[in-house]
Amino acid sequence: MKLSALVCAHNDETRLADCLRRLEFCDEIVVVADRCTDRTQEIARQFGARVVDGIFPLEGQRKTAGVAACLGEWILEIETDEQVSPALAYEVRAAIHGRPGGDWFDVPVENFVGERLVRRGWGAGFGEATAARLYRRRVKRWKARRVEPRIVLDGRAAGALESPLRRQAHTDAGDMIAHLNRQTWLRAQDIADAGAPGRMLDDVLRGLRLFWTCYVWRQGLRDGELGFLVSLMAALDPVLSGLRARELVKARAVASANANVTVTQPTRIGRAG
With a CB cutoff of 8 Å and minimum separation 6, the contacts of 151 are 132, 140, 141, 142, 143
- Arithmetic mean of pLDDT over the chain: 91
Residue 77 confidence (pLDDT) above 70: yes
| Continuous H helices in the chain | 16-20, 40-46, 59-69, 86-97, 173-194, 200-212, 224-260
pLDDT at 223: 93
Please compute the mean of the pLDDT values over residues 163-185 and round it to a whole number. 93
Local structure of 87: helix, strand or coil: helix
| Cα→Cα distances 207→152, 171, 173, 186, 237, Å | 25, 24, 20, 17, 7
Residue 64 confidence (pLDDT) above 70: yes
pLDDT band at 28 (very low <50, low <70, confident <90, very high): very high
pLDDT band at 272 (very low <50, low <70, confident <90, very high): very low
Residue 268 confidence (pLDDT) above 90: no
The whole-angstrom distance between residue 100's C-alpha and the CA centroid of its chain comes to 27
pLDDT band at 273 (very low <50, low <70, confident <90, very high): very low
**Residue 221 DSSP symbol:** G
CB 35 within 8 A of CB 14: no
pLDDT at 33: 96
CA distance 21 to 5: 12
**Residue 215 DSSP symbol:** I
pLDDT band at 127 (very low <50, low <70, confident <90, very high): confident
pLDDT at 7: 98
Query: For the chain, where do the domains classified as CATH 3.90.550.10 start and end?
Result: 3-168
pLDDT at 262: 54
Residue 40 confidence (pLDDT) above 90: yes
Q: What percent of the chain has pLDDT over 70?
A: 95
The one-letter code for the residue type at 15 is R
**Concatenated DSSP letters of 21-42:** GGGTTSSEEEEEEES--SSHHH
For 3-168, the fitting CATH number among 3.40.50.300, 3.90.550.10, 3.30.9.10, 3.30.540.10 is 3.90.550.10
Residue 214 confidence (pLDDT) above 90: yes
Please compute the mean of the pLDDT values over residues 18-28 and round it to a whole number. 96
CA distance 19 to 30: 12
- Tell me the CA end-to-end span of the chain in Å, nearest whole number: 92
The whole model's pTM is what?
0.87
SS (H, E, C) 224-273: HHHHHHHHHHHHHHHHHHHHHHHHHHHHHHHHHHHHHCCCCCCCCCCCCC
pLDDT band at 124 (very low <50, low <70, confident <90, very high): low
CA distance 87 to 90: 5
Own/partner pairs for 207-212, CB < 8 Å, 24+ apart?
A: 207/234, 207/235, 207/236, 207/237, 207/238, 207/239, 208/235, 210/123, 210/124, 210/234, 210/235, 210/237, 210/238, 211/235
pLDDT band at 191 (very low <50, low <70, confident <90, very high): very high
